[in-house]
Amino acid sequence: MLRLLELAKEKIRSRLKSGLPEVSGRKPPKEAVYTVYVTPFGPVFKDNNGVLLPFATRKHVFHDLAPLFYIKGAQEVFLSAKSKYEGKYLVTGIVTVNGKRFPFKATADFEAIVLDLVRVTGANISLKNPSTVIEYGGWRIYLKMPSIAGGEWELEAAKLLPPPSLASYGVLIAARILTLGLTRIATLIIGEPGAGKTTLLNSLLIEELRLFPLLRTVIVETVPELFVPLNLRRYVSRHVAKDGDIGRVLKNAIRYSRPDVLFVGEIRAGDIDFVEAGRSGTPTISTMHSPNAMLALHAIAMHARARLGPTVSLGDIADYIKCFIEVRKVHADAIKRGVIAGIALSDGKRLRYIYRRGRFCPDSEFLDLLSSYDTVIALSIEALYDHIRHSISVLNERGEVSALKPF
């Protein structure tokens, strides 16, 4: 029986390999059992253990790893390369496809891959600068030398994709978030790394530009991550803090760019200048790593005390950062990012959730919490909210609105 099974496997291998073109005299890996993906740069096989085996049939900067980056639905590639023999490296890692992660392995001249990446992108990587972030082929790539990565090359890549529409988060959530984003308060989108915070921020940016293109929209980032469609680019002013000093760039953006709405890329708890920006009266939105709103407040307050004095309280921070949007990454059969777990507003005494885990507060309560603030549009909070609801068809979504669970 075992002999018959081996013969069957060998027959499958011979069929699988016979129809594939050779590259410089090479043939597909011996472990390959069947093809799981076909890409423009070659197939991706799978072995008996479920490990993917990329095999390039055309020349590419990534050499034999190229098919991984062209799998339909590929979102992430994480890999490490360990020196094997005569310039060859054993490359192992994980590729995420449509939210599901699969292990892979390959043998490749990884240093040649690095040299090709440097050649086509101009990346600055050396013993003095052992890591770099580059963009190539629609991917953002973080490359690390062995000296800072445990003795092996490491590459972490994320696919750059246009963000989903704001309405895809739920039409009522979209209406409330956009209303908050156009109110003269500071809003912080919080969650763990990879939760989808920047994606939500980007969806909000595009929806705001689509509905109110004449607003002066200013973006401040340390790494340019936010995607702006070409047809909307003329309405946006971008500032990049390449030296990491986001506070200095933020001050210059407020002073010289005269923003109507300010979008700030990811901040850290110590970036107190974001709190100052929240006092300016300009709607200001950013992201930060934190599991929930209270811990975010505590972290910012701790750094504020070190800079401004021990009398700074949580209430002082909540006076300037009024809104917290909690975003989650959920692991199930597939990884789901951008799950909005809660939206909290400060009333000056405590955080009050206007949305939490599928339950919404009434519109009257939401509008009452914002009643003391103006909007950047020449409309009252009520009129702006009503306009946005109509614009993204909330009022026509009778089924969704009637099914909401009130607090």
97: tokens are: 């496809």
229 and 255 housed in the same domain: yes
111 and 126 housed in the same domain: yes
Q: Which residues of 121-139 are buried (b: 16+ CB within 10 A; e: fewer)?
A: bebebeeeeeebebebbeb
Cβ(44)–Cβ(68) below 8 Å: yes
pLDDT greater than 50 at residue 192: yes
Closest CA to 191 of 271, 289, 285: 289
Q: Specify the residue for token string 């011996």.
A: 30
Domain harbouring 299, CATH code: 3.40.50.300
Residue that finishes a domain, picked among 141, 159, 177: 159
173 and 92 housed in the same domain: no
- % of the chain at pLDDT higher than 70: 90
What are phi and psi for residue 188, nearest 5 degrees?
Answer: -120, 125
Structure confidence at residue 25 (pLDDT): 59
Structure confidence at residue 3 (pLDDT): 53
200 and 349 housed in the same domain: yes
pLDDT greater than 80 at residue 244: no
- How many distinct structural domains can be found in the chain? 2
Amino acid at 270: G
Residue that finishes a domain, picked among 159, 190, 222: 159
- Mean pLDDT value of segment 243-272: 85
Helices 381-391 and 171-181: crossing angle, nearest 10°?
140
Residues in the chain: 407
- % of the chain at pLDDT higher than 90: 53
278 sits in the region (left: phi over 0; alpha: psi -120 to 50; else beta) called alpha
Pairwise CA distance, residues 187 & 321, whole Å: 6
Q: Which contacts of 248-254 are long-range, i.e. CB under 8 A and separated by 24 or more positions? A: 249/220, 250/220, 250/274, 250/277, 253/218, 253/220, 254/280, 254/282
pLDDT greater than 50 at residue 254: yes
- State the residue range of the domain holding 350: 166-406
138 and 188 housed in the same domain: no
337 and 396 housed in the same domain: yes
Q: Specify the residue for token string 């969650």.
A: 191
89 and 143 housed in the same domain: yes
* pLDDT per residue as tens digits for the range 63-85: 999 999 999 999 999 999 998 77
Pairwise CA distance, residues 361 & 369, whole Å: 11
Q: How far is CA 300 from the centre of its chain?
A: 22
Q: Specify the residue for token string 């339909």.
A: 72
- Mean pLDDT value of segment 146-170: 92
Q: Which residue has the higher pLDDT, 46 or 9?
A: 46
